[in-house]
């Protein structure tokens, strides 16, 4: 069994404490990853305040190096540089048809903090159970037990300094960019409005520009974030508090946007994202809200052909899509590193606070 340092949260809303924990031996198809960094995602913050499993280890944007391979693993070896994304079963109809983001076991594999068979794989120094396996990794720890299905192998010559920044490709950045490229399939000369200029929203805006969209609008209530969006090349930015926001967007898009994305999870914003569409346009809902939250739409606004879709993990196959994003970065079309801020592991609580306040768009924890 492997002992390692981890950030543990023992009750909803509490700070993370740093403890020595023990990881169970690797099972079939599992890999031990020595983490070098991990992103902080909005989903981690939601899970820190609302999961019923305590204590628990979160984190799901890990980047690291394979330290050990378990039985049945043939496509990874010790020393491989990897990114960890979401987990999937690989056996259901969705997985077999190339849609692991719609895996029939997505919830238990990623959110229930245990192996699919119910086994708990992490224990504290006193032998007490700790809920782990969050998104198949629980990367708020120096080591993670991951499954081969949520690993993406990087080129061996990937520089270490770049490798540290790539963890968010496993969730937040893939979600934003994948929503544009994979789900909405934005084409050249089309228009899109992105609500929320966090990591997911800015990734979506960069992907829209890379896809050839000629009207890319970003909406946020933080003017500093709007300034950053402008520096990335978006064509318009608007403050979400503007009383004439819808009119401004309609004017900029010549009668309504082809696409809109909500990354906020705010139901008022979701409604607005649908109102700014032209007939035949599509809103993609990406932002997470509390379970049971209801949203109302004007009925004729749907009957006239405006669409609403929900998108999970950018509708991405991580092993295919993450290398594509990396290629876009290498040619200057996905400059995500402009809004990443690195924090040492022991300042995880500070990184989360800065993410909540908006002081930092994309915190990355470095081990």
Looking at residue 239, which CATH number applies to its domain? Answer: 3.40.50.720
Q: Which residue range forms the structural domain that includes residue 104?
A: 2-170+335-366
| 190 and 262 in a common domain | yes
63-82 CB burial, b ≥16 within 10 A, e <16: bbbbbbbbeebeebeeebbb
Residue 302 has a pLDDT of 84
CATH at residue 60: 3.90.180.10
Q: Using N-to-C axis directions, what is the helix angle for 223-231 and 199-210, rounded to 10°?
A: 30
Residue 326 lies in a domain: no
pTM attached to this predicted model: 0.94
For the stretch 81-122, pLDDT in tens is: 999 999 999 999 999 999 999 999 999 999 888 888 888 889
| 151 and 50 in a common domain | yes
| 278 and 199 in a common domain | yes
Residue 51 has a pLDDT of 73
| 109 and 192 in a common domain | no
For the stretch 142-193, pLDDT in tens is: 999 999 999 999 999 999 999 999 999 999 999 999 999 999 999 999 999 9
Residue 303 has a pLDDT of 82
Residue 321 lies in a domain: no
Residue 346 lies in a domain: yes
Residue 316 lies in a domain: no
Residues of the chain with pLDDT under 70: none
Mean pLDDT of the chain: 94
Query: Which CA distances in Å does 50 have to 45, 53, 69?
Result: 9, 9, 33
| 204 and 85 in a common domain | no
Residue 320 lies in a domain: no
Residue 245 has a pLDDT of 97
| 159 and 10 in a common domain | yes
Residue 323 lies in a domain: no
| 214 and 88 in a common domain | no
Q: Using N-to-C axis directions, what is the helix angle for 42-50 and 348-357, rounded to 10°?
A: 100
| 23 and 114 in a common domain | yes
| 295 and 349 in a common domain | no
């Amino acid at each position: 069994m492997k002992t390692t340092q981890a950030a543990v949260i023992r009750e909803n809303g509490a700070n993370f404490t740093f403890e020595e924990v023990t990881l169970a031996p690797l099972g079939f198809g599992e890999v031990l990853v020595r983490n070098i960094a991990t992103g902080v995602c909005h989903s981690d913050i939601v899970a820190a305040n609302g999961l019923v499993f305590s204590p628990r280890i979160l984190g799901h944007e890990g980047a690291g190096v394979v330290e050990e391979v378990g039985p049945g693993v043939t496509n990874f070896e010790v020393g491989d540089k990897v990114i960890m994304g979401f987990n999937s079963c690989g056996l259901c109809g969705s997985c077999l048809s190339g849609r692991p983001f719609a895996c029939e076991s997505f919830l238990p594999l990623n959110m229930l903090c245990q192996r699919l068979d119910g086994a708990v794989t992490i224990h504290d120094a006193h032998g007490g159970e700790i809920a782990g396996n969050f998104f198949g990794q629980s990367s708020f720890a120096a080591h993670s037990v991951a499954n081969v299905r949520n690993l993406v192998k990087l080129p061996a010559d990937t520089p270490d300094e770049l490798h540290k920044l790539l963890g968010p490709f496993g969730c937040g950045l893939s979600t934003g960019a994948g929503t544009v490229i994979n789900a909405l399939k934005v084409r050249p000369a089309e228009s899109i409005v992105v609500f929320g200029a966090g990591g997911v929203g800015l990734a979506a805006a960069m992907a829209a520009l890379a896809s050839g969209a000629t009207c890319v609008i970003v909406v946020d209530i933080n003017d500093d974030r709007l300034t950053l969006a402008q520096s990335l090349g978006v064509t318009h930015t608007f403050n979400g508090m503007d009383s004439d926001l819808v009119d401004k967007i309609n004017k900029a898009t010549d009668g309504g946007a082809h696409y809109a994305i909500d990354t906020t999870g705010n139901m008022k914003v979701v409604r607005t994202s649908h109102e700014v569409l032209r007939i035949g346009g599509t809103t993609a809902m990406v932002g997470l809200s509390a379970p049971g939250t209801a949203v109302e739409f004007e009925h004729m606004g749907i009957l006239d052909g405006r669409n609403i879709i929900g998108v999970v993990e950018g509708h991405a196959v991580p092993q295919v899509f993450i290398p594509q994003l990396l290629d876009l970065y290498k040619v200057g079309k996905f400059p995500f590193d402009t809004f990443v801020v690195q924090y040492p592991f022991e300042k995880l609580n500070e990184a989360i606070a800065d993410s909540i306040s908006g002081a930092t768009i994309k915190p990355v924890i470095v081990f």
